[in-house]
Chain A
Amino acid sequence: MTSVNSSRKQFISMFKESAKKTVVLPILAFLCFIFFSLNNSIWLIDRFNYEISPFFWDELRSGGVTNIAGFCFIAAGLINAMVLFSFAWSKKHSNVIFSLGMKRKDIYFAKILGGILPMTVSILAAALVETICYCSFELPLNLHFIGMATLTALQFLAIYILAFMLGSAVFSNVGNVVEGLVFTAILSVFTIVFRIFLENLFWGATHGASVITVFDLNRANFNWSMPFLAFYDFGDESFMNMYFDTFEPRNLTIFHWSGIICAFVYSVVICLLGYLAFRKRKNEICGTWGRAKVMNEVAGSATAFYAFVLISQYIFYSDHGDAHVSNLIIGLVTFLIVSIIFKLIFGYKRRKEIKNTFKKFPIYVIGFAAFFTVFSSGLFGYSSYIPDTTEIEKVTVASTNHIFMEDSLSTSSEFALFDQRIYHTENSSISLDSSLNYSYYVDEFYPGIIFSSPEEINKVIKIHEKLISDGKIKNSSADSVGASIEITYTLKDGSICRRYYTEATESLFKELLLLDDTKPVEYTLRDYLGNNENFGKFTSYITEDNKIEGYVVDLTTNWFTDTYHDSGLYAFNKASMLVSESYYIFPKDMSKGYWFGNADDELFEAIYTDLLNLTAEQYYHHSAEDEIGVLSFGLSSSMTIEDDGDIIYNYDDLSEGEYASASWNLNSYDIKTVLITKYMTNTIKYLEKHDLMKYFENQFDIDDIKSVKLATPGELYGENYRSKCLPIFYAAYWTGKQMNAYKSMYGDNMNHTFENIENVVTDKAKIQSLLGNSVLYGFCSNKNQIMEITYVDGSTATVLVK
């Protein structure tokens, strides 16, 4: 027998041996898949009957099951890696393995193959069974289905292989199982921390533009940093429905494949690195502590790097985002300290290794310095590059920021979150990005408006030029606002140039708002406001004698005003309004709501036309005198109307807990509110025609005001608020009863934003003057003051002083 043949036989033997050892978990996985396939088949019948189409591994892909499945596959990968490379920690076992006539390469790769193949077969076989189940219901087996099914199956495989490769690389090169587990855990989060490093340490990074776009093919839409969460975006209902439930196939994009691609690429890289280390591995480390020098160095450096990122980020944010060399120095000192602590825990000859850490430290310093030097210089013109106008086919502008939905008086929600005209979307599909920024709610202020005429493109370029000339904007600087702006140029040759800026100045944001006056925004708005196919078919409800009656609702005694507060001035959407049964008119002081029956098409048309016609100036920068009051839709679901016209409030019989719950649901989904200004001539004409203008008369006068507190946004929310909120304000109002209820409910824990504000105004004349300049909605500069008005009856309102 030739040595080549015998080597092949040895390889096959070791592969078989490895596959035998790891086959249990793939079998279990297969059985689970089959269970879900059978379960899915039962549902298929149901869904088919109800004309709801099913999709691949439906039940497995729903809700928490997905996350549990993902976790199980990661655990399976690690367990199998441990099983196959456990010989590396055992002196006895390694005597046997390494005395076999096999090259280390063959040992390593035979075990790798033995760990991967059974699970691959298991998943593919289960996918085939599911496909057969699917086809048995005569559902279409087309490219879209195959794409989705492949994607789904590969996702399970990808995270298993990644976990297995990482585990194998680590476990094959450590001296004991504890080191293996700890080092695997450390290295598994490397890409996430590296992403945070790139994304948030912009104080030392690119001049203006976020460096993250260097690595993202489509800002945050290429999952390179969390390959273990390849499922992540499948948790989004809209994606789950994108093919199967809607029967409106949409193409899978690179984003959907990105997690898998990265998982496989990382797996290959990790596998090769693991092999290189294994080839040089010294077997005398078996069963010892701290003698796996390579892994110790890698894991130690990674841990120190994590500490560097966390401490630098902490200092950065606690220091209001000012860039300091001291941040870098403190970060590096932390790096050194953590390195030493790591050596103390995982070192073998600790004193010597700590000495070596000091010797190597300058190398790390040079590395960090080089990194920041390159990026702070603008990354060789990366951040300041704008394509030539003649090359541009179109440009897309998107602006995002975060939403903090809070249901008490913490009142982040009262400030600058929802826009009534442009989209309001709580978009969790950008979850990769948002999860790293501690919030799942990202407001797409501009969801991506496309400008294609030369004139419009030039407007955007001017905004981009200003972004570049503004350079790095300190988070704490007086004119910074929390708007992340993304500009994407599509060039005539088909290529894409994308830049993402995490900060903007007030003046720039004002210019961005002026884009509202362009045609693309109008078209977007028109499409958005008029997207209800039922529009025009609505029939008015309370029009017995063609007269609309208003019912006065005493806000001081009833709960539902809370929903008004929390809803703020929500996005106006005709579709949303149509599903509501009635509307309210609130005067500008928000003290009373006048309930009406169903709105008719004429009113919707009037509002629709007015909102389209409003200029950016009228919309964001109107004065106090311009505001008339508020129309609010969708509040009636909590009420019933008696024959005599009395309104019964269902909330009266509910306890506080039930109330809070009901309130939350209402304000989250049902309430749509429109601010009426004098520029909305069509709406005013309608209101006048139906004699409704009288309901806008304020109920409170100056004597009803007990006190007023004034504070800038920075004083209210801290200096860091700027990176988190758009500079748009909307008002709020709480009844006295509600305030008391909150106080009794939360006590000292009540997070009342104005609690510590000392700027109290009691002078009636001054208060009158302030009221004369206050608005319910509009652009809020950092210098503007927000006013909290406390009325003598205990009710409270917040407005913006222009």
Chain B
Amino acid sequence: MIKISNITKTFDDFTAVDDISIEIGDSSVYGLVGYNGAGKTTLLKMIAGVYTPDSGTIEFDGIDLFKHPEKKQELFYVPDDLHFGLASSMKSMARYYQGYYPNFCMDTFNNLARLFGLDVNKKIMGFSKGMQRQAEMVLGLSTLPKAILLDESFDGLDPAKRNLTKKLLLDYMAEKGCSIIISSHNLHELADMCDHIALMNGKKIAIDCAVDDMNGSRCKFRVVYSQNVDKNLFKGINFKNYKADGKIVSFTVSENLEEAERIIAQSNPLLVERFPLSLEEIFLEEMEDTDYDFSKLFS
């Protein structure tokens, strides 16, 4: 289990991560969502030990990673920007990692490389971007980590390899009890994979909950009336993204769904529809999508 407690990181005057506390359990896939610059990569780099936090602690199986960095031998970080040695092949990189990860398994490495169809003797620099990502994934999994940190790691993978990777990760998690933290902008992908989602809204964690809970606690209402209605009709409901199109009104509600349904029912609607929110809609709702006037922008 990875436990992040009150962690803060500033870059000069800019606070990238502010007093964040989260826990990632064993056998869990934890998705990190947030807009660009929200602090996802910074958080991952702190867990990996690349960045040192200004305050707070990160524990892995109850061991402070900054006091005992050797614990990171059970953790593998796949960064967004991959690095391989000049003229390195997968085989030479495997030998390299073998020196630093005591659990590195050469058989697993060879098996995985075969599974992905990668030539272990070929220079990695000659690989395509997607193949390089696969190579890193193969190397990472070959260390038999108890935790994997993936930063935008599915970018550049073709759909087949993407599915293969996802499946492999989920199987690995299930079999080995591994914790996986994935940072991604691909919300559909995260929704498919993750059992837990944290939404970073600039420095802070806006949402940190299980995916199932997220689906049940938020929904979108579409209500049809016989005549135009006023927004005040829904007083008492904490709604967002209110849109009125004549006699049809839609909005999202993220709390007290039963109370909202009761208030809507009292407003004599002709039709009430309730839809679960997709992860993307939740993201947009939390990020409060920026609106603009096109004519003013290009006047």
Residue numbers of A with Cβ under 8 A of B are: 1, 3, 6-7, 9-10, 12-14, 16-17, 90-96, 98-104, 282-284, 348-349
Contact = CB atoms under 8 A, between A and B. Distances in A.
Interface residues of B, number: 28
B70 A101 contact: yes
Contacts of A95: 45, 48, 50, 77, 79, 81, 83
27 contacts: A1-B102, A6-B70, A6-B73, A10-B100, A13-B98, A14-B100, A91-B81, A92-B79, A92-B81, A93-B83, A94-B50, A95-B50, A95-B77, A95-B81, A99-B76, A99-B77, A99-B79, A101-B71, A101-B72, A101-B73, A102-B69, A103-B69, A283-B45, A283-B52, A284-B11, A284-B51, A348-B12
Given A13-B100, A99-B77, 15 more contacts: A1-B102, A6-B70, A7-B70, A13-B98, A17-B99, A90-B83, A92-B81, A95-B48, A95-B77, A95-B83, A101-B72, A101-B73, A103-B70, A283-B45, A348-B12
Given A17-B96, A95-B48, A98-B48, A3 B81 contact: no
B75 interface: yes
Contacts of A96: 79, 83
Given A9-B102, A14-B99, A98 B79 contact: no
- Residue of A14, A100, A282 contacting most chain B CB atoms (<10 Å): A100
Nearest to A94: B50
Contacts of B74: 101
Contacts of A93: 83
B100 A100 contact: yes
Contact of B49 (A3, A90, A98): A98
A101 B69 contact: yes
Nearest to A285: B11
Contacts of A348: 12
B70 A3 contact: yes
A98 B83 contact: no
A92 B83 contact: yes
A100 B100 CA distance: 7
Nearest to A107: B69
B259 to A, nearest CB: 46
A525 to B, nearest CB: 70
B82 interface: yes
Chain A binding surface SS class: helix
A101 B11 contact: no
- Residue of B11, B68, B69, B98 contacting most chain A CB atoms (<10 Å): B69
A92 B73 CA distance: 19
Contact of A92 (B71, B75, B82): B82
Interface in B47-78: 48-52, 68-77
Nearest to A280: B52
A146 B100 CA distance: 42
Contacts of B49: 98-99
Interface string B13-56: 00000000000000000000000000000000100111110000
- Residue of A12, A16, A98, A282 contacting most chain B CB atoms (<10 Å): A98
Contacts of B68: 3
Contacts of B100: 10, 13-14, 100-102
A798 B75 CA distance: 87
Contacts of A13: 96, 98-100
Interface of B: 11-12, 45, 48-52, 68-77, 79, 81-83, 96, 98-102
A83 to B, nearest CB: 11
Contacts of B52: 282-283
Given A13-B100, A95-B45, A283 B51 contact: yes
Contacts of B77: 95, 99
A99 B48 contact: yes
A10 B98 CA distance: 9
A196 B231 CA distance: 82
Given A3-B70, A90-B83, A349-B12, A98 B102 contact: no
Contacts of B79: 92, 95-96, 99
Nearest to B67: A103
Contacts of A90: 83
A10 B50 CA distance: 17
Nearest to A96: B83
B99 A16 contact: yes
A282 B98 CA distance: 27
B44 to A, nearest CB: 10
A3 B11 CA distance: 33
A14 B12 CA distance: 32
Contacts of A282: 51-52
Contacts of A103: 69-70
Nearest to A12: B99
Given A95-B45, A98-B49, A284-B51, A6 B81 contact: no
A13 B104 CA distance: 14
B74 to A, nearest CB: 8
A287 to B, nearest CB: 11
A99 B72 contact: yes
Contacts of A92: 79, 81-83
Contacts of B76: 99
Contact of A10 (B11, B51, B71, B99): B99
A436 B75 CA distance: 56
Nearest to B41: A95
A9 B219 CA distance: 54
A98 B149 CA distance: 14
Contacts of B75: 99, 101
A396 B218 CA distance: 96
A98 B45 CA distance: 9
Contacts of B83: 90, 92-93, 95-96
Counting from the closest, the 10 A-B pairs by CB-CB distance are A13-B99, A101-B73, A101-B72, A92-B83, A99-B48, A99-B77, A95-B79, A98-B50, A6-B102, A92-B81
A594 B76 CA distance: 95
Nearest to B93: A96
B80 to A, nearest CB: 9
- Residue of A12, A99, A283 contacting most chain B CB atoms (<10 Å): A99
B40 to A, nearest CB: 15
Contacts of A101: 69-75, 100-101
Contacts of B99: 9-10, 12-14, 16-17
A282 B12 CA distance: 11
A349 B13 CA distance: 10
B152 to A, nearest CB: 13
B112 to A, nearest CB: 19
A792 B158 CA distance: 103
A747 to B, nearest CB: 60
A349 B14 CA distance: 13
Contacts of A10: 70, 73, 99-100
A105 to B, nearest CB: 10
A106 to B, nearest CB: 9
A93 B72 CA distance: 17
B8 to A, nearest CB: 14
A283 B72 CA distance: 17
A283 B50 contact: yes
A761 B99 CA distance: 90
A133 B52 CA distance: 55
A91 B73 CA distance: 20
A92 B79 CA distance: 8
Contacts of A12: 99
- Residue of A98, A101, A284, A348 contacting most chain B CB atoms (<10 Å): A101
Nearest to A4: B70
A92 B124 CA distance: 15
A7 B100 CA distance: 8
Given A9-B99, A92-B81, A99 B70 contact: no
B50 A99 contact: yes
B66 to A, nearest CB: 10
Contacts of A91: 81
Nearest to B81: A92
Contacts of B51: 282-284
Nearest to B9: A284
Nearest to B96: A17
